[in-house]
Amino acid sequence: MKLFGTDGVRGEAGKFLTAEMAMKVAMSLGIYLQKSAVTRKILVGKDTRRSGYMIENAIVSGLTAVGYDVVQVGPMPTPAIAFITENMRCDAGIMISASHNSFEDNGIKLFDGHGNKFPSSVEGEIESIYFDTEKLLDAQVTGRKIGKAKRIDDVIGRYIIQLKNSFPVNMTLQGMRIVLDTANGAAYKVGPTVLEELGAEVIVLHNKPDGFNINEGCGALHTKELCQNVMKYRADLGIALDGDADRLVVVDEQGEVVDGDQLLGALGVYLNDQHLLKGEGIVSTVMSNAALDDYMQENGLTLYRSDVGDKNVLEVMKEKGINFGGEQSGHIIMHDFAKTGDGLVAALQVLSLIIAKNKPASAVLRPFSLYPQTLVNINVQTKKPLDSIKGLEELLNSIEACDMRHLIRYSGTENKLRLLLECKDAKMMRTKMEELVTFFKKALND
Protein backbone atom coordinates (compact mmCIF):
# COMPACT_ATOMS: atom_id res chain seq x y z
CA MET A 1 0.00 0.00 0.00
CA LYS A 2 1.13 3.54 -0.72
CA LEU A 3 -0.58 5.34 2.17
CA PHE A 4 -0.99 2.99 5.12
CA GLY A 5 1.97 1.69 7.08
CA THR A 6 2.31 -0.26 10.33
CA ASP A 7 0.11 2.21 12.19
CA GLY A 8 -2.11 4.19 9.84
CA VAL A 9 -0.97 6.98 7.53
CA ARG A 10 2.16 8.78 8.70
CA GLY A 11 4.72 11.17 7.28
CA GLU A 12 5.98 14.75 7.21
CA ALA A 13 3.06 17.14 7.58
CA GLY A 14 2.66 19.50 4.63
CA LYS A 15 4.94 17.41 2.42
CA PHE A 16 3.72 13.80 2.52
CA LEU A 17 0.65 14.25 4.70
CA THR A 18 -0.88 17.31 3.06
CA ALA A 19 -4.27 18.89 3.68
CA GLU A 20 -5.45 17.43 0.37
CA MET A 21 -4.36 13.94 1.38
CA ALA A 22 -6.08 14.23 4.77
CA MET A 23 -9.32 15.37 3.12
CA LYS A 24 -9.23 12.51 0.60
CA VAL A 25 -8.47 9.91 3.30
CA ALA A 26 -11.48 11.18 5.26
CA MET A 27 -13.72 11.06 2.17
CA SER A 28 -12.48 7.55 1.39
CA LEU A 29 -13.29 6.40 4.91
CA GLY A 30 -16.78 7.91 4.63
CA ILE A 31 -17.39 6.19 1.29
CA TYR A 32 -16.18 2.85 2.69
CA LEU A 33 -18.54 3.16 5.66
CA GLN A 34 -21.64 4.01 3.62
CA LYS A 35 -23.06 0.48 3.58
CA SER A 36 -22.63 -0.06 7.33
CA ALA A 37 -23.14 3.47 8.66
CA VAL A 38 -25.70 3.71 11.49
CA THR A 39 -25.35 7.19 13.01
CA ARG A 40 -23.41 8.86 10.18
CA LYS A 41 -21.31 10.43 12.94
CA ILE A 42 -17.49 10.22 13.13
CA LEU A 43 -15.26 11.25 16.04
CA VAL A 44 -12.03 13.19 15.43
CA GLY A 45 -9.27 13.74 18.00
CA LYS A 46 -5.64 14.79 17.80
CA ASP A 47 -2.43 15.20 19.77
CA THR A 48 -0.67 18.54 20.38
CA ARG A 49 1.21 19.08 17.08
CA ARG A 50 0.74 22.41 15.33
CA SER A 51 -0.05 20.61 12.06
CA GLY A 52 -3.05 19.02 13.77
CA TYR A 53 -5.05 22.18 13.06
CA MET A 54 -4.46 21.88 9.33
CA ILE A 55 -5.15 18.16 9.16
CA GLU A 56 -8.20 18.28 11.44
CA ASN A 57 -9.90 20.94 9.35
CA ALA A 58 -9.14 19.04 6.16
CA ILE A 59 -10.62 15.86 7.64
CA VAL A 60 -13.75 17.71 8.73
CA SER A 61 -14.12 19.09 5.21
CA GLY A 62 -13.75 15.64 3.68
CA LEU A 63 -16.25 13.95 6.00
CA THR A 64 -18.91 16.64 5.77
CA ALA A 65 -18.51 16.70 1.97
CA VAL A 66 -19.65 13.06 1.80
CA GLY A 67 -22.48 13.54 4.26
CA TYR A 68 -21.08 12.71 7.71
CA ASP A 69 -21.46 14.69 10.92
CA VAL A 70 -18.22 15.21 12.84
CA VAL A 71 -17.58 15.37 16.58
CA GLN A 72 -14.29 17.12 17.39
CA VAL A 73 -12.82 16.50 20.85
CA GLY A 74 -9.43 18.23 20.59
CA PRO A 75 -6.21 16.87 22.13
CA MET A 76 -6.86 13.41 23.58
CA PRO A 77 -4.80 10.20 23.85
CA THR A 78 -5.20 7.67 21.04
CA PRO A 79 -6.78 5.06 23.37
CA ALA A 80 -9.27 7.70 24.51
CA ILE A 81 -10.41 8.17 20.91
CA ALA A 82 -10.86 4.41 20.57
CA PHE A 83 -12.94 4.30 23.76
CA ILE A 84 -15.05 7.41 23.09
CA THR A 85 -15.80 6.33 19.50
CA GLU A 86 -17.69 3.33 20.84
CA ASN A 87 -19.02 5.14 23.91
CA MET A 88 -20.62 7.88 21.78
CA ARG A 89 -21.95 5.37 19.23
CA CYS A 90 -19.96 6.81 16.33
CA ASP A 91 -19.56 4.90 13.07
CA ALA A 92 -15.79 5.44 13.24
CA GLY A 93 -13.04 7.38 14.98
CA ILE A 94 -10.03 9.25 13.63
CA MET A 95 -6.91 10.10 15.64
CA ILE A 96 -4.51 12.67 14.20
CA SER A 97 -1.08 11.77 15.55
CA ALA A 98 2.37 10.54 14.60
CA SER A 99 2.73 8.93 18.04
CA HIS A 100 6.40 9.05 19.13
CA ASN A 101 7.69 10.93 16.05
CA SER A 102 8.90 14.53 16.25
CA PHE A 103 6.52 17.44 15.60
CA GLU A 104 7.37 17.72 11.88
CA ASP A 105 5.50 14.45 11.24
CA ASN A 106 1.84 13.71 11.69
CA GLY A 107 -0.47 10.81 10.98
CA ILE A 108 -4.02 9.50 10.71
CA LYS A 109 -5.18 6.46 12.67
CA LEU A 110 -8.60 4.96 11.92
CA PHE A 111 -10.92 3.06 14.26
CA ASP A 112 -14.17 1.23 13.57
CA GLY A 113 -17.37 1.85 15.54
CA HIS A 114 -16.22 -0.52 18.29
CA GLY A 115 -12.92 1.30 18.79
CA ASN A 116 -10.80 -1.29 17.02
CA LYS A 117 -8.13 -0.38 14.48
CA PHE A 118 -9.13 -1.43 11.00
CA PRO A 119 -7.32 -4.54 9.70
CA SER A 120 -4.92 -4.19 6.78
CA SER A 121 -7.54 -5.58 4.38
CA VAL A 122 -9.92 -2.70 5.17
CA GLU A 123 -7.10 -0.15 4.95
CA GLY A 124 -6.44 -1.56 1.49
CA GLU A 125 -10.07 -0.99 0.47
CA ILE A 126 -9.98 2.58 1.80
CA GLU A 127 -6.77 3.19 -0.10
CA SER A 128 -8.32 1.89 -3.33
CA ILE A 129 -11.15 4.41 -2.93
CA TYR A 130 -8.56 7.16 -2.28
CA PHE A 131 -7.05 6.64 -5.74
CA ASP A 132 -10.44 6.42 -7.49
CA THR A 133 -11.02 10.06 -8.51
CA GLU A 134 -14.39 9.35 -10.09
CA LYS A 135 -15.71 7.67 -6.95
CA LEU A 136 -14.56 10.57 -4.77
CA LEU A 137 -16.35 13.06 -7.04
CA ASP A 138 -19.57 11.03 -7.24
CA ALA A 139 -19.75 10.62 -3.43
CA GLN A 140 -19.88 14.33 -2.68
CA VAL A 141 -23.32 15.50 -1.55
CA THR A 142 -25.24 18.75 -1.82
CA GLY A 143 -27.92 20.75 -0.05
CA ARG A 144 -29.35 19.30 3.15
CA LYS A 145 -27.19 16.16 2.86
CA ILE A 146 -23.95 18.00 3.63
CA GLY A 147 -22.74 17.10 7.13
CA LYS A 148 -22.13 19.37 10.11
CA ALA A 149 -19.38 19.55 12.75
CA LYS A 150 -19.37 20.41 16.44
CA ARG A 151 -16.69 20.54 19.10
CA ILE A 152 -17.20 18.91 22.51
CA ASP A 153 -14.78 19.86 25.28
CA ASP A 154 -15.95 17.71 28.21
CA VAL A 155 -15.52 14.14 26.93
CA ILE A 156 -12.26 13.82 28.88
CA GLY A 157 -14.39 12.97 31.91
CA ARG A 158 -15.69 9.80 30.25
CA TYR A 159 -12.15 8.60 29.64
CA ILE A 160 -11.03 9.43 33.19
CA ILE A 161 -13.85 7.26 34.57
CA GLN A 162 -12.83 4.43 32.23
CA LEU A 163 -9.22 4.67 33.42
CA LYS A 164 -10.18 4.65 37.10
CA ASN A 165 -12.45 1.66 36.51
CA SER A 166 -9.41 -0.29 35.29
CA PHE A 167 -7.73 0.11 38.69
CA PRO A 168 -8.74 -2.34 41.49
CA VAL A 169 -11.47 -0.78 43.63
CA ASN A 170 -9.85 -2.08 46.83
CA MET A 171 -6.60 -0.22 46.12
CA THR A 172 -5.46 3.38 46.39
CA LEU A 173 -2.33 5.24 45.35
CA GLN A 174 -2.30 7.07 48.66
CA GLY A 175 1.26 7.40 49.94
CA MET A 176 2.86 6.81 46.53
CA ARG A 177 5.03 9.40 44.83
CA ILE A 178 5.09 9.19 41.04
CA VAL A 179 7.03 11.17 38.44
CA LEU A 180 5.02 11.42 35.21
CA ASP A 181 6.43 12.58 31.86
CA THR A 182 3.58 13.36 29.45
CA ALA A 183 5.94 14.16 26.53
CA ASN A 184 4.16 17.50 25.93
CA GLY A 185 1.57 15.33 24.27
CA ALA A 186 -2.06 14.29 24.31
CA ALA A 187 -2.14 13.09 27.94
CA TYR A 188 -0.81 16.32 29.46
CA LYS A 189 -4.13 16.89 31.25
CA VAL A 190 -5.64 13.45 31.76
CA GLY A 191 -2.47 11.71 33.03
CA PRO A 192 -1.85 13.84 36.13
CA THR A 193 -5.59 14.07 36.86
CA VAL A 194 -6.13 10.30 37.04
CA LEU A 195 -3.12 9.61 39.23
CA GLU A 196 -3.97 12.44 41.60
CA GLU A 197 -7.62 11.42 41.87
CA LEU A 198 -6.48 7.92 42.85
CA GLY A 199 -4.43 9.42 45.68
CA ALA A 200 -0.88 9.70 44.38
CA GLU A 201 1.52 12.58 44.81
CA VAL A 202 2.46 13.42 41.24
CA ILE A 203 5.50 15.31 39.96
CA VAL A 204 4.72 16.17 36.34
CA LEU A 205 7.33 16.71 33.62
CA HIS A 206 6.80 18.11 30.13
CA ASN A 207 3.11 18.99 30.33
CA LYS A 208 3.26 22.35 28.54
CA PRO A 209 2.76 21.63 24.82
CA ASP A 210 3.39 24.49 22.39
CA GLY A 211 2.74 22.65 19.14
CA PHE A 212 6.42 21.95 18.49
CA ASN A 213 7.85 20.35 21.66
CA ILE A 214 5.93 17.06 21.55
CA ASN A 215 8.38 14.16 22.22
CA GLU A 216 11.28 16.66 22.12
CA GLY A 217 13.93 15.25 24.46
CA CYS A 218 11.22 13.79 26.65
CA GLY A 219 8.63 11.05 26.96
CA ALA A 220 8.94 7.34 26.26
CA LEU A 221 11.88 7.71 23.87
CA HIS A 222 13.96 10.07 26.01
CA THR A 223 13.91 8.96 29.65
CA LYS A 224 17.14 10.48 31.02
CA GLU A 225 15.40 13.39 32.74
CA LEU A 226 12.70 11.11 34.11
CA CYS A 227 15.31 8.80 35.64
CA GLN A 228 17.06 11.76 37.24
CA ASN A 229 13.83 13.11 38.71
CA VAL A 230 12.79 9.75 40.14
CA MET A 231 16.04 9.77 42.11
CA LYS A 232 15.80 13.48 42.95
CA TYR A 233 12.30 13.20 44.43
CA ARG A 234 12.80 9.68 45.83
CA ALA A 235 9.76 8.55 43.91
CA ASP A 236 8.25 5.08 43.95
CA LEU A 237 7.92 4.98 40.18
CA GLY A 238 8.55 6.93 37.00
CA ILE A 239 6.07 6.81 34.12
CA ALA A 240 6.85 8.02 30.60
CA LEU A 241 4.24 8.29 27.86
CA ASP A 242 4.71 9.14 24.21
CA GLY A 243 2.97 11.88 22.25
CA ASP A 244 -0.37 10.13 21.91
CA ALA A 245 -0.10 8.14 25.18
CA ASP A 246 -0.49 4.68 23.67
CA ARG A 247 3.02 3.71 24.84
CA LEU A 248 4.42 3.25 28.35
CA VAL A 249 7.97 3.18 29.66
CA VAL A 250 8.51 2.55 33.38
CA VAL A 251 11.43 3.67 35.58
CA ASP A 252 11.90 1.93 38.94
CA GLU A 253 12.68 3.64 42.26
CA GLN A 254 16.41 3.27 41.58
CA GLY A 255 16.14 5.42 38.46
CA GLU A 256 16.55 2.51 36.04
CA VAL A 257 14.37 1.89 32.97
CA VAL A 258 12.50 -1.43 33.07
CA ASP A 259 12.80 -3.42 29.85
CA GLY A 260 9.51 -3.79 27.96
CA ASP A 261 9.73 -7.59 27.79
CA GLN A 262 10.36 -7.86 31.52
CA LEU A 263 7.34 -5.62 32.09
CA LEU A 264 5.17 -7.84 29.89
CA GLY A 265 6.34 -10.95 31.72
CA ALA A 266 5.75 -9.48 35.17
CA LEU A 267 2.26 -8.24 34.27
CA GLY A 268 1.29 -11.46 32.49
CA VAL A 269 2.13 -13.68 35.44
CA TYR A 270 0.54 -11.22 37.88
CA LEU A 271 -2.72 -11.22 35.91
CA ASN A 272 -2.64 -15.01 35.80
CA ASP A 273 -2.09 -15.21 39.58
CA GLN A 274 -5.12 -12.92 40.03
CA HIS A 275 -7.16 -15.19 37.71
CA LEU A 276 -7.57 -12.29 35.31
CA LEU A 277 -5.57 -13.68 32.39
CA LYS A 278 -7.57 -15.33 29.61
CA GLY A 279 -6.28 -17.85 27.10
CA GLU A 280 -3.41 -19.22 29.23
CA GLY A 281 -0.87 -17.01 27.51
CA ILE A 282 0.16 -13.58 26.32
CA VAL A 283 0.97 -12.11 22.92
CA SER A 284 4.06 -10.15 21.95
CA THR A 285 5.88 -9.55 18.67
CA VAL A 286 8.78 -11.12 16.82
CA MET A 287 10.96 -8.41 18.43
CA SER A 288 10.58 -9.80 21.96
CA ASN A 289 13.48 -11.44 23.76
CA ALA A 290 13.54 -15.26 23.82
CA ALA A 291 13.92 -15.09 27.61
CA LEU A 292 10.27 -14.01 27.73
CA ASP A 293 9.32 -17.30 26.04
CA ASP A 294 11.23 -19.24 28.69
CA TYR A 295 9.71 -17.25 31.57
CA MET A 296 6.19 -17.87 30.28
CA GLN A 297 6.88 -21.60 30.01
CA GLU A 298 8.26 -21.70 33.55
CA ASN A 299 4.93 -20.32 34.73
CA GLY A 300 2.77 -22.68 32.67
CA LEU A 301 1.89 -20.04 30.08
CA THR A 302 2.45 -19.65 26.34
CA LEU A 303 3.96 -16.71 24.49
CA TYR A 304 2.42 -16.16 21.07
CA ARG A 305 4.20 -13.87 18.62
CA SER A 306 2.78 -11.51 16.01
CA ASP A 307 4.24 -9.19 13.41
CA VAL A 308 5.36 -5.76 14.65
CA GLY A 309 2.55 -3.33 15.44
CA ASP A 310 -0.04 -3.30 18.21
CA LYS A 311 -2.74 -3.87 15.58
CA ASN A 312 -1.09 -7.21 14.75
CA VAL A 313 -0.71 -8.05 18.44
CA LEU A 314 -4.44 -7.49 18.91
CA GLU A 315 -5.33 -9.70 15.95
CA VAL A 316 -3.43 -12.64 17.48
CA MET A 317 -4.98 -11.91 20.89
CA LYS A 318 -8.44 -12.20 19.36
CA GLU A 319 -7.50 -15.33 17.45
CA LYS A 320 -6.18 -17.07 20.59
CA GLY A 321 -8.81 -15.71 23.00
CA ILE A 322 -6.19 -13.80 25.02
CA ASN A 323 -6.82 -10.50 26.82
CA PHE A 324 -3.25 -9.32 27.41
CA GLY A 325 -0.37 -8.57 25.08
CA GLY A 326 1.98 -5.89 23.87
CA GLU A 327 5.20 -4.83 22.29
CA GLN A 328 8.70 -4.62 23.68
CA SER A 329 8.59 -0.91 22.83
CA GLY A 330 5.86 -0.21 25.39
CA HIS A 331 2.54 -0.65 23.60
CA ILE A 332 0.63 -2.73 26.14
CA ILE A 333 -2.92 -3.90 25.49
CA MET A 334 -5.20 -4.72 28.43
CA HIS A 335 -8.15 -5.78 26.30
CA ASP A 336 -10.61 -5.91 29.19
CA PHE A 337 -10.16 -2.14 29.56
CA ALA A 338 -8.83 -0.80 26.23
CA LYS A 339 -9.17 -1.62 22.53
CA THR A 340 -5.60 -0.57 21.72
CA GLY A 341 -2.32 0.11 23.50
CA ASP A 342 -3.02 2.43 26.44
CA GLY A 343 -0.08 3.81 28.41
CA LEU A 344 -2.20 4.98 31.35
CA VAL A 345 -4.20 1.75 31.70
CA ALA A 346 -0.94 -0.20 31.63
CA ALA A 347 0.65 2.16 34.17
CA LEU A 348 -2.24 1.61 36.57
CA GLN A 349 -1.83 -2.16 36.26
CA VAL A 350 1.90 -1.81 37.01
CA LEU A 351 1.04 0.22 40.11
CA SER A 352 -1.51 -2.37 41.25
CA LEU A 353 1.16 -5.08 40.87
CA ILE A 354 3.61 -3.10 43.02
CA ILE A 355 0.96 -2.50 45.68
CA ALA A 356 -0.16 -6.15 45.67
CA LYS A 357 3.41 -7.43 46.09
CA ASN A 358 4.19 -4.75 48.69
CA LYS A 359 7.73 -4.53 47.31
CA PRO A 360 9.69 -1.85 45.42
CA ALA A 361 9.32 -1.67 41.64
CA SER A 362 12.88 -2.92 41.14
CA ALA A 363 12.04 -6.13 43.02
CA VAL A 364 8.88 -7.05 41.11
CA LEU A 365 9.26 -5.71 37.56
CA ARG A 366 12.34 -7.72 36.54
CA PRO A 367 11.30 -11.33 37.21
CA PHE A 368 13.81 -12.79 34.72
CA SER A 369 17.09 -11.89 33.02
CA LEU A 370 17.20 -11.04 29.34
CA TYR A 371 19.36 -12.72 26.75
CA PRO A 372 21.83 -10.34 25.05
CA GLN A 373 20.08 -8.52 22.22
CA THR A 374 21.09 -5.63 19.98
CA LEU A 375 19.03 -3.46 17.66
CA VAL A 376 20.51 -1.13 15.03
CA ASN A 377 18.58 1.22 12.74
CA ILE A 378 20.01 2.20 9.36
CA ASN A 379 18.59 5.21 7.53
CA VAL A 380 17.57 4.39 3.95
CA GLN A 381 16.44 6.45 0.98
CA THR A 382 14.46 3.63 -0.65
CA LYS A 383 13.24 0.32 0.72
CA LYS A 384 14.92 -2.14 -1.61
CA PRO A 385 13.24 -5.59 -1.37
CA LEU A 386 15.30 -7.72 1.02
CA ASP A 387 14.94 -10.85 -1.08
CA SER A 388 16.58 -9.03 -4.01
CA ILE A 389 19.81 -8.27 -2.12
CA LYS A 390 22.58 -10.59 -3.26
CA GLY A 391 24.54 -12.36 -0.55
CA LEU A 392 21.98 -11.70 2.22
CA GLU A 393 20.70 -15.26 2.41
CA GLU A 394 24.23 -16.63 2.84
CA LEU A 395 25.00 -14.09 5.56
CA LEU A 396 21.82 -14.93 7.47
CA ASN A 397 22.61 -18.64 7.20
CA SER A 398 25.99 -17.98 8.83
CA ILE A 399 24.24 -16.07 11.63
CA GLU A 400 21.78 -18.90 12.23
CA ALA A 401 24.67 -21.38 12.32
CA CYS A 402 25.92 -19.51 15.41
CA ASP A 403 22.62 -20.26 17.22
CA MET A 404 21.65 -16.63 16.87
CA ARG A 405 18.16 -15.23 16.29
CA HIS A 406 17.80 -12.46 13.72
CA LEU A 407 15.07 -10.14 12.52
CA ILE A 408 15.63 -7.87 9.52
CA ARG A 409 12.79 -5.58 8.49
CA TYR A 410 11.98 -2.13 7.22
CA SER A 411 10.15 0.23 9.55
CA GLY A 412 6.49 0.67 8.68
CA THR A 413 6.50 4.32 9.77
CA GLU A 414 10.00 5.64 8.98
CA ASN A 415 12.66 5.30 6.26
CA LYS A 416 14.77 2.93 8.31
CA LEU A 417 16.01 -0.64 8.12
CA ARG A 418 15.87 -2.33 11.52
CA LEU A 419 18.43 -5.03 12.36
CA LEU A 420 17.93 -7.19 15.45
CA LEU A 421 20.23 -9.94 16.70
CA GLU A 422 19.87 -12.06 19.84
CA CYS A 423 22.31 -14.62 21.22
CA LYS A 424 23.55 -15.91 24.57
CA ASP A 425 27.09 -15.07 23.43
CA ALA A 426 27.17 -11.24 23.52
CA LYS A 427 30.64 -10.95 22.00
CA MET A 428 29.77 -13.08 18.99
CA MET A 429 26.50 -11.16 18.60
CA ARG A 430 28.32 -7.80 18.43
CA THR A 431 30.74 -9.16 15.85
CA LYS A 432 27.93 -10.41 13.64
CA MET A 433 26.04 -7.11 13.98
CA GLU A 434 29.09 -5.18 12.78
CA GLU A 435 29.28 -7.55 9.82
CA LEU A 436 25.57 -7.12 9.13
CA VAL A 437 25.67 -3.30 9.30
CA THR A 438 28.69 -3.14 6.98
CA PHE A 439 26.95 -5.47 4.53
CA PHE A 440 23.72 -3.45 4.37
CA LYS A 441 25.41 -0.05 4.12
CA LYS A 442 27.22 -1.32 1.03
CA ALA A 443 24.27 -3.29 -0.42
CA LEU A 444 21.77 -0.44 -0.08
CA ASN A 445 24.10 2.13 -1.62
CA ASP A 446 25.12 0.08 -4.66
Active site residues: 99
Nearest-angstrom CA–CA distance, 218 and 179: 13
With CA atoms as reference, report the closest residue to 239 among 170, 173, 289: 173
Burial state string for 263-289 with b = 16 or more CB within 10 A and e = fewer than 16: bbbbbbbbbbeeeebbbebbbbbebbb
With CA atoms as reference, report the closest residue to 206 among 241, 227, 182: 182
Q: What is the DSSP letter of 253?
A: T
Nearest-angstrom CA–CA distance, 440 and 17: 29
Nearest-angstrom CA–CA distance, 189 and 163: 13
Nearest-angstrom CA–CA distance, 127 and 148: 25
Q: 356 Cβ partners below 8 Å, 6+ apart?
A: 171, 270, 274
The answer to whether 129 and 136 are in contact (CB under 8 A) is yes
Nearest-angstrom CA–CA distance, 6 and 441: 24
